[in-house]
Amino acid sequence: MNQMVPIMDVPIHNVTMEEATDTVIDFLSSNKSHTVFTPNPEIIMEAQKDKELMECLKTANLVVPDGIGVVIASRLLGGQRLPERVGGFDLMQNVLDRIKDTKIRVYFLGSKPGVARQAAKNMEKKHPGLQIVGTRDGYFKPDEERELIDEIKRLKVDLLLVGLGAPRQEKWISDHIEELGVKVAAGVGGSLDVMAGVVKRAPEIYQKLNLEWFYRLITNPKRAKRMLNLPIFGCKIIFLSLRTKYQK
Interface positions with ligand UDP (CB under 6 A): 110-112, 138-139, 163-166, 189-190, 192-193
Closer Cβ to ligand UDP, 41 or 138, answer by number: 138
Q: Considering the complex, what minimum distance in angstroms separates the CB of residue 184 from ligand UDP?
A: 18
Q: Considering the complex, what minimum distance in angstroms separates the CB of residue 212 from ligand UDP?
A: 11
Q: What is the DSSP letter of 113?
A: T
Report in angstroms the alpha-carbon separations of 167 from 15, 82, 242: 23, 23, 30
Closer Cβ to ligand UDP, 139 or 239, answer by number: 139
Q: Considering the complex, what minimum distance in angstroms separates the CB of residue 193 from ligand UDP?
A: 5
Q: Considering the complex, what minimum distance in angstroms separates the CB of residue 217 from ligand UDP?
A: 12
Axis crossing angle, helix 17-28 with helix 88-99, rounded to the nearest 10: 50
Closer Cβ to ligand UDP, 69 or 138, answer by number: 138
Q: Considering the complex, what minimum distance in angstroms separates the CB of residue 20 from ligand UDP?
A: 17
Residue 126 identity (one-letter amino acid): K
**Residue 190 · residue 119 · CB < 8 Å:** no
Closer Cβ to ligand UDP, 159 or 164, answer by number: 164
Strands (DSSP E) contained in 14-171 are: 34-37, 62-63, 105-110, 131-136, 159-163
From 192, 188, 25, 189, select the one nearest 123 (Cα to Cα). Answer: 192
Closer Cβ to ligand UDP, 72 or 166, answer by number: 166
